[in-house]
Structure 1
Amino acid sequence: MKTTGLNRQLVIWMSAVTGIALAAMVLGITLFYAVAFYLNPGWLLSVCPDQIAAREGTGLPWSALWPGALEWSVFFVLWGIGTVGAIAAAVRFARRLIRPLDAVGTAARKIAGGDLTARAVPDGPMFEETGQLVDDFNAMARQLGQSEADMRAWNVAIAHELRTPLTILRGRLQGVVDGIFTPDEVSLRGLIAQVDSLTRIVEDLKVLTLAQSGRLELRLDTVDLADEVRSVASFVAPHLKDAGIELHCDLGSVHVQADGARVRQALLAILENARRYAAPCNLHVETRATSENGILRISDSGPGLPSGAENLVFEPFWRADDSRSRANGGSGLGLAVVRAIAEAHGGSAVVHQVDPNGTCFEVHLPRAAPPHTQRKSIPTRSRTPIETVP
């Protein structure tokens, strides 16, 4: 076993404690009998009359009650045996204590050197506390490795998403410079569309990064989800209709504590996702409430999600059909932004399949009491449309 400073300290202190305990015992017993005889000789005579009589018959002084050479020899032998036993116990204890600590230290140095696959693997038995330390360290190391892998995947995905619009921009602009293309209104609008795509990707990345670091700025106020939906539906309905989507709204007044601009951003992201991947279909937008949360529900009658995709749709850059998604121009960040906004409000975003086909997204936000009114419960499952946006 590798000898460490902690190991030496354990051996020294265990030996010292054993010696001190034995010396205290010997001195304590001796002083006890000496003081007892000084204060009450008759009590000592009654306790050990034979020894007292023998000493009186020989004329020995009462100081002869102190341990003699043989007795001190026995004491030192006992002290030696106790010390050896203490050292053996200290070494065994140190082995079980230091092995996991040494394994953790070795793995930590490897991780610091860049080897994120290093793990603490001590040999032999461990105490429960040090075993828990090893497990926690290995869990942290796995999380660190996963974070590093996720960061690399993010970098690759971001580079891939930015490359297409940048390549188109550069090719078109170079064509204009070389005189191959004439800068007319159609080509310029196409270039602006590519710039808009880049702007959207950058803005989505900014929101995700701020949300993950807990620094997404929210201007919280009491807002009505129904009003926010109406403001968005009034200008997106024509674009959805052009894509073959009929938008139906069933809105009940639901007051939540939220940032209205972020709520509209999340709703737009879900509607844009439906336009790209669910058209043609009927799209229903509802606002409902429970006793604690306001619910923004968007359901479509499109093709739905692949089996098991419910836990993946909010992951950045995830696509059910990679080639189709890229053809439609999606960056794979929109729904991740929806979840980030919901969680930044202390809420959540969920998705589930709709029978027989289709997808239903729900954004849950903390509810707030309506100003100057008494809070009322609003049904949560009714789907009878009360308003249709043409």
Structure 2
Amino acid sequence: MNFRSRERRSRPIAIEGVFRKSASRLDRRLGTWMAAITGIALAVMIAGMFLFYSLVEYIDPMFWWKDWNSYWPQPIECMAFVTLWILGIGGAIAAAAYFARRIIRPLESVGSAAQRIARGDLSARATPQEAMFDETRRLVDNFNAMASHLNRAETAMGDWNLAIAHELRAPLTILRGRLQGIVDGVFATETISFRGLVAQVDTLNRIVEDLNVFTLARRGRLELRLETIDLADEIATVISVVAPELKKAGIDVLFDLGCSVQVLADSARIRQAILAILENARKYAAPGLLRIETFAMHEKGMLRFCDDGPGLPPGSEHLVFEPFWRADGRRLHPNGGSGLGLAVVQAIAHAHGGTAHARAGEPRGAIFEICLPCAEANSV
């Protein structure tokens, strides 16, 4: 068992060592081949020159007896040929070293970083060399960008796992404690609050449903049953359900629905998004007025919510739609939701080809907007 684990640990190191050795051998092979090709080319050139002299001597024998040596290289010329041959080989070796520094060394750095990433070290990066070709530099930059993306994705996945575990822990702990109390006889079945247990089950179900909608929308696989709907009707349907809870939280709803705004959307998903924003206002907004507006602008149906909450910190307009995001606890509520409500709102809006925005209100509060394509614009 220990031997196998040691073997698994040592195998990546051995592979990296082999890779480095192969890269150094590639340097040597490049120099050897370029020197050999250059030497062969020069040797063929010199041999061709001697063959030329021989042909001249054979074709023109009338000059043989006059000046035989004029047809053949003189010693000083032979020395020049040998010198040029040596300089050519040296130049080939220098060129090989130049190309090795600009091509092979960056590739070696990319390969070494790839081996570390394969072992699980997502912080590994290829080291740019001082002298590289533009194509090689782009390769190194693109590899490092890919490695950074993988590192961020792995970190985000870890944060997701921790956040989901945190959100599920509270309702599961309550359920287990109450059910264990019934099993142990601490709670009598006729006195235990089954309504509270059902509420915890509903919380778990809402978390699972939000995760499902968010994941499907991110992958572009959220199924929508598109039809022409009126935003005012959808708001009225949702308000009729949550009005008592909003009243308990001290929130009064003021409607400014204006003219009829019809959009092409899935009514169930739009109601889900409206409910998520209203739940966000109930949990985090201060007691006061919640203004709901609908209007059309640039062939888009707009749905706006303005609350009297503590507002949004500067620069957090996009962060509020991130899963499980909290503004330093300022909008954190003891009875907080799944942490996915606003993320689901944005996912539903994007699935419809629309957008979701948030900004701070004046002088306080937060404003959330959902923008959806109008039905008339889609029919054109």
Q: TM-score, normalised by structure 1?
A: 0.78
Matched, 1:213 2:219: yes
Partner of 1:362 in structure 2? 369
Which residue matches 2:312?
Answer: 305
CA distance in 2, matches of 1:263, 1:29: 87
State the distance in 1 between where 2:142 and 2:122 align: 15
Q: In the alignment, is the contact (CA less than 8 A) between 1:240 and 1:275 conserved in 2?
A: yes
Q: Which amino acid aligns with 2:260?
A: S
Alpha-carbon separation, structure 1, partners of 2:228 and 2:54: 86
Deviation of 1:9 after TM superposition, in Å, equals 4.9
Give the drift of 1:32. Answer: 9.9
Q: Per the alignment, do residues 199 and 293 of structure 1 end up closer, same or farther by CA in structure 2, a change over 3 Å counting?
A: same
Q: Which moved more, 1:137-146 or 1:150-159?
A: 137-146
Q: Equivalent residue for 2:14? A: none
**1:139-178 maps to which residues of 2 (within 5 A)?**
139-178=145-184
- Alignment partner of 1:7 is 2:27: yes
User: Any idea what SS the aligned residue of 2:376 has?
Assistant: coil
Q: Which secondary structure state, in structure 1, belongs to the residue aligned with residue 254 of structure 2?
A: strand
> Match of 1:287?
294
Q: How far did 1:362 drift?
A: 0.9
- Describe the SS at the equivalent of 2:356: strand
- Cα drift, residue 229 of structure 1: 2.4
From 128, 139, 143, the counterpart of 1:133: 139
> For 1:149 and 1:83, how far apart are their aligned partners in 2?
52
Unaligned runs of 5+ in 1: 42-51, 376-390
Structure-1 residue corresponding to 2:186: 180
Query: 1:296·1:362 contact (CA, 8 Å) conserved in 2?
Result: yes
Can you give the 5+ residue segments of structure 2 that lack an aligned partner in the other structure? 1-19
Q: Distance in 1 between matches of 2:225 and 2:43?
A: 73
Give SS of 2:332's match.
helix
Deviation at 1:152, TM superposition (A): 1.6
Q: Does the 8 Å contact 1:254/1:294 carry over to 2?
A: yes
Change (3 A) 1:76 1:225: farther
1:353 touches 1:360 (CA, 8 Å); kept in 2? yes
- Pick which of 162-171 and 133-142 moved more: 133-142
- Within the alignment, does 1:260 sit opposite 2:267 as a pair? yes
State the alpha-carbon separation in 2 of the partners of residues 341 and 56 from structure 1.
97
Q: What is the CA deviation profile of residues 167-218 of structure 1, one whole-angstrom value per residue up to 9, with x for unaligned ones?
A: 1111111212222222347701011001001111111112222233333333
1:1-390 mapped onto 2 (5 Å cutoff): 3-4=23-24, 6-15=26-35, 18-19=38-39, 22=42, 56=63, 58-59=65-66, 68=73, 74-122=80-128, 124-184=130-190, 187-251=193-257, 252-320=259-327, 322=329, 325-369=332-376
TM-superposed CA distance for 1:365, in Å, is 2.4
Quickly say closer, same or farther: Cα 1:78–1:230, change in 2 above 3 A.
same
Q: 1:307 to 1:60 in 2, by over 3 A?
A: closer
* Deviates most, 20-29 or 214-223: 20-29
What is the alpha-carbon root mean square deviation over aligned residues? 3.5
Output the amino acid matched with 1:355. Answer: E
Q: Residues of 1 paired with 2:353 and 2:291: CA distance? A: 25
Decide which moves more: 155-164 or 326-335: 326-335
Bigger drift between 270-279 and 16-25 goes to 16-25
Relative to structure 1, the CA distance from residue 79 to residue 339 in structure 2 (aligned partners, 3 Å threshold; closer, same or farther) is same
Moved more, 211-220 or 308-317: 211-220
State the Cα deviation string for residues 115-162 of structure 1 (Å, max 9, x = none). 222222255432232223222222222222222222222211111111
8 Å CA contact retained: 2:299, 2:377: no
Paired residue secondary structure (1:317): coil
- Mapped to 1, the partners of 2:232 and 2:54 lie a distance apart of 95
1:306/1:320 contact within 8 Å kept: yes
Query: How far apart, CA to CA, are the structure 1 residues paired with 2:119 and 2:299?
Result: 49
**Are the counterparts in 2 of residues 255 and 370 from structure 1 also a CA contact under 8 Å?**
no
Question: SS in structure 2 opposite 1:330?
Answer: coil
2:89 counterpart letter in structure 1: T
CA distance 1:361–1:186, change in 2 (3 Å)? farther
Distance in 2 (CA, whole Å) between partners of 1:233 and 1:177 is: 40
Q: Contact conserved, 1:11 with 1:90, CA < 8 A, in 2?
A: yes
SS of the residue corresponding to residue 340 of structure 1 reads helix
How much identity, in percent, do the aligned residues show? 58
More deviation, 85-94/129-138: 129-138
Q: CA deviation at 1:30?
A: 9.1
The 8 Å contact of residues 38 and 92 in structure 2, kept in 1 or not, is answered as yes
Q: Classify 1:249/1:27 alpha carbon distance in 2 versus 1 (closer, same or farther; 3 Å).
A: farther
Residue identity matched to 2:270? V
- 2:194, 2:72 → 1: CA distance? 110
